[in-house]
Chains A and B, each alone.
Chain A
Amino acid sequence: MATRDSGVLAAGPGAGAGALGPGDPVVQTRGLSRAFGEHVVLDDLDLDIGRGEFVAMIGRSGTGKSTLLRALAGLDQETSGELVVNAPVSVVFQEPRLVPWKKVAANVSLGLRAADPRAVARTALDEVGLADRADAWPLTLSGGEAQRAALARALVRDPGLLLLDEPFSALDALTRISMHQLVLSLWERHQPAVLLVTHDVDEALALADRVLVLSDGKIAHSAQIAPERPRDRDHPDLVALRIRLLTELGVATHDVS
């Protein structure tokens, strides 16, 4: 195993002014490993994510995607190897995780250290198109609305790194498409680095600059995608890449539609 240096998690505001310069990556792991008992989930993993880069990570269940994300979020202190996160981090989980006894605006401003957290929350809700639901109880929101509120809560902290843990997987297909548009527009506007964990190859191809395939705790494949968006999913490059990625995932396919 590599240097026993985990816990070098600099996630506070202004952490970017620390050891690394502005051109350096937001995330840097070297030899990152995590085992649960005998079961190795992350195996000597090296990963860099550049400032403002949109990275999608796909992989079958149990390949360590969520473990990696939790480590980056600072929720797992049991990793070994080197892990540097050089920016404030926000997380959007698979389920919205709105605090049910706080109204939507209060959820967005929860724990926010700002002069006027309520105003900041309103602005963020406006940005995700939820301004009129600011005073609603979370349980009255639809799935898509709740996940947009969760996005607003993540963005209001001005993250240099936005971790998205399969945030659209519970949404219906139409809502998912509009959420993709929303995430892209928010990303373009706020320019955080994004790590999107997903099962959905098409989602990864529609959104990311770079797609990683995680397999057995290692990055088995990495592919760059041309930056222009919106993307035509039938573009020959994307079709070829989709087949490649599905093959990497162990899904035999002849579907080239």
Chain B
Amino acid sequence: MSISTGTSTTRRGSPADERAPDAGALPIAGVTGGRATPGRTRGQGWRRAGWLRLISPIVVLALWQILSTTGVVSQQKLPSLTTLWTTAVHLISTNSPTYGTLQHAMLISLERVAIGFVIGGGVAVILAIAAGLSRAGENAIDPLMQALRTLPLFGLIPVFIVWFGIGESPKITLIALAAAIPLYLNTFAGIRGVDGKLAELGQVLGLRRSEMIRQIILPGALPTILIGLRQSLGTAWLALVVAEQINANAGLGYIINQGETFLQQNVIFVALIVYLILGLLTDYIVRLIERRALTWRRGILAS
């Protein structure tokens, strides 16, 4: 029921008559917009906060050194930092039959983490995309992954030894599983959390499904995926430490086992510190990726 009351006067004629093609090419006068000013003070504030974060670790290290050298805590229990430095230099420069070299052990451990992470992370991302993009995929994959998540991973070690023996395979499998679960969960959540309004926009703009996935869904999920990546690398390192404690004959875990056997607390500490540094390093790399990939979020600072 379309009532047309001609309240006002005439109706425009055919559009083509009255509007020559260039009639509307008017200068767009008066259309101005405020521009966001760069948040410089905020950036400097962050940098200063970065230095402030170093204070407490430095205090702890200083306390450690003092307690150890003054004999308040025995060198057996807590070797001083200077002792650890000497031990590290020795482990690097001498290829001893007991320990091998530290750098060799480190490479072995790195390799295990890398292989495990690439396999586990790769599978996790593929599964999460399959589950995230379709109901059928979700129904097929998500229950299994959710169940796996609740399984205490390290309880699987004896099972893996029966299945895979005591070589590299049980270690790699454990690391891959440990890496896969947080990355799967976060990637899945990230995909499901993409703003539905942007998906609707993609539909209006006539994006193909592949374009929608590459240009809207995956970039939209990326911040959450990167959080998953960091968690996943963390658990991968954790799994490495546990995996290497069981009958390894090379790697940082092997050095720790040997140190335990020969009651050399200083060697154990050095190996632990190498774990810590490698963990911090991978975390730093992810932060760098984050900073590059998510420039748009800090857009106000970047432009």
Contacts and interface: CB of A to CB of B under 8 A. Distances in A.
Contacts of A178: 28, 30-32
Interface residues of B, number: 54
A138 B31 contact: no
B211 interface: yes
B29 to A, nearest CB: 7
Interface stretch (A34-42, A195-203, A236-244): A236-244
B56 interface: no
A97 B195 CA distance: 10
Interface in A205-240: 209, 218-227, 237-238, 240
A10 B8 CA distance: 33
B5 interface: yes
Interface stretch (B118-126, B163-171, B201-209, B271-279): B201-209
B219 interface: yes
A127 B19 CA distance: 18
Nearest to B36: A140
Interface string A89-107: 1110101010111100000
Interface string B185-208: 000000000000110111111110
B206 A111 contact: yes
Given A97-B198, A188-B19, A226-B8, A137 B295 contact: yes
A91 B23 contact: no
Contacts of A89: 204
Interface string B18-36: 1101111110111111111
A2 interface: no
Interface stretch (A46-54, A59-67, A79-87): A46-54
Given A101-B296, A144-B33, 15 more contacts: A74-B204, A101-B222, A102-B296, A110-B202, A129-B28, A137-B296, A181-B28, A181-B31, A188-B24, A219-B3, A221-B3, A222-B5, A224-B9, A224-B10, A244-B7
Interface of B is mostly: loop
B207 A223 contact: no
Given A46-B2, A111-B206, A142-B33, A223 B8 contact: yes
For the complex of A and B, 7 pairs with smallest distance between CB atoms: A188-B24, A189-B24, A137-B299, A52-B15, A227-B12, A111-B205, A145-B33
Contacts of B9: 224, 226, 237
B226 to A, nearest CB: 13
Nearest to B37: A140
A153 B34 CA distance: 20
Interface in B197-235: 197-198, 200-207, 211, 215-216, 219-220, 222
Interface of A is mostly: mixed
Interface of A: 44, 46-47, 51-53, 73-75, 89-91, 93, 95, 97, 99-102, 110-112, 127-129, 136-145, 148, 153, 157, 175, 177-179, 181-182, 184-191, 209, 218-227, 237-238, 240-241, 244
B11 A209 contact: yes
A139 B299 contact: yes
A100 B296 contact: yes
Given A111-B211, A185-B26, A99 B8 contact: no
Interface of B: 1-12, 15-16, 18-19, 21-26, 28-36, 197-198, 200-207, 211, 215-216, 219-220, 222, 295-297, 299-300, 302-303
B2 A179 contact: no
B157 to A, nearest CB: 41
Contacts of B18: 227
B1 A137 contact: no
A75 B203 contact: yes
Contacts of B303: 136-137, 140
Nearest to B222: A101
B36 A220 contact: no
A100 B297 contact: yes
22 contacts: A46-B1, A75-B200, A75-B203, A90-B204, A100-B299, A110-B202, A137-B296, A140-B35, A140-B303, A142-B36, A153-B205, A175-B33, A181-B30, A181-B31, A182-B28, A188-B23, A189-B21, A189-B23, A223-B7, A224-B4, A224-B9, A227-B10
